[in-house]
Amino acid sequence: MRGYVPLLLLLAAIWGSSYLFIKVAVRDVPPAAMVELRLLFAVPLLLGYLASQVGGRRALSELRRVGRVGVVLGIANAAVPFTLIAWGEQHVDSGIAAIANATVPIFVVLLALHYRPEERISRLQAAGIVLGLVGVAVLAGFNPTGGWWAVAGTLAVVLSSVSYAAANLYAGKRVGNLATGPVLAAASMLAALVLLAPLALLRLPAATPSPQAIASIAALGLIGTALAQIVFYRMLRLYGSARSSLVAYLLPVTALAYGAVLLDEPVTGATLAGLVLILAGVAIGSGRVRVAWPR
């Protein structure tokens, strides 16, 4: 059985674990250094996978062809959001971060409205976007445990969603037939690895990280980053983007479950309200759910 549902659940389970691994890792390692190590684990696996798919020589030439697009995506789709999430998770629970990160489709619509004047959305979609933004406010504002730092942490993750959304729009315009998903993933993460190196060296961990933190970063790079990408592209190939993107709705749920069960994070009413509002906002705002008005 290699059906759609098992693959979707599997992907949600391995992708959703990233937030947990990040949370455990940033206890010991500063954000930029953590992301650098994460990429150090993920990039060889992604490159190896690419080479096994198309052959080493062809992989190299495809990577070279991506060029500047890869660098821009490396910044907007990897280096910046990874670091923002890592910084944010120093101050908020992993489940909260995952929910705040589920807002990407909302910002895709908002940015598209701003940068493409010809883009139009329905009144319902607009309402969905407002709903999602209210969800962000609920999630960030009703976080009494961590005070202002927690608000800042949540907003940092929201900012990472904006970065992902911008990368999404840029890729939609620039990539075209230039490259396939796995090539872009490998190229952008390789670029991020190089670009982040100076920042990571600027703030090294104070002491040698614990074995737990190192294991967490290794699992984050190998499982939560590289393997999740590979499974996601497989899913895209088998089931198309509409059905594959449903994983975005499951990710915050699995991440919340991991955090609650394994890290004893509290699941408050505000967290759940934020989750429901954001997911509903994404579903309506992206135009996936339409309502038939009575006439």
What residue ranges bind another protein (CB under 8 A)?
Answer: 1-2, 6, 10, 14, 17, 20-21, 24, 52, 210-212, 215-216, 219, 223, 227, 258, 262-263
> CB of 146: closest distance to another protein in angstroms?
20
CB closer to another protein out of 16 and 31: 16
CB of 79 to another protein, least distance (A): 24
CB of 153 to another protein, least distance (A): 19
Nearest-approach distance from CB 215 to another protein, in angstroms? 5
Nearer to another protein, 76 or 219 (CB): 219
Q: Which is nearer to another protein, 130 or 215 (CB)?
A: 215
Nearer to another protein, 6 or 198 (CB): 6
Q: Reduced to 3 states, what is the DSSP secondary structure of residue 39?
A: helix
Contacts 24+ apart (CB under 8 A), 199-207: 199/32, 199/36, 199/83, 200/32, 200/33, 200/35, 200/36, 200/37, 201/33, 202/32, 203/30, 203/32, 203/33, 204/30, 204/33, 205/28, 205/29, 205/30, 205/33
Q: Smallest gap, in angstroms, from Cβ of residue 237 to another protein?
A: 13
Residue closer to another protein (CB basis): 137 or 238: 238
Q: Which of 103, 244 has the CB closer to another protein?
A: 244
How many angstroms separate the Cα of 65 from the Cα of each of 70, 124, 146, 147, 229?
Answer: 9, 41, 46, 47, 21
Angle separating helix axes 211-219 and 4-25, nearest 10 degrees: 150
Which candidate, 283, 277, 295, 235, places its Cα nearest to that of 140? Answer: 277
What Cα–Cα distance (Å) separates residue 11 from each residue in 8, 82, 171, 194, 233? 5, 19, 23, 28, 11
Q: Which of 83, 48, 94 is nearest to 227 (CA)?
A: 48
CB of 216 to another protein, least distance (A): 5
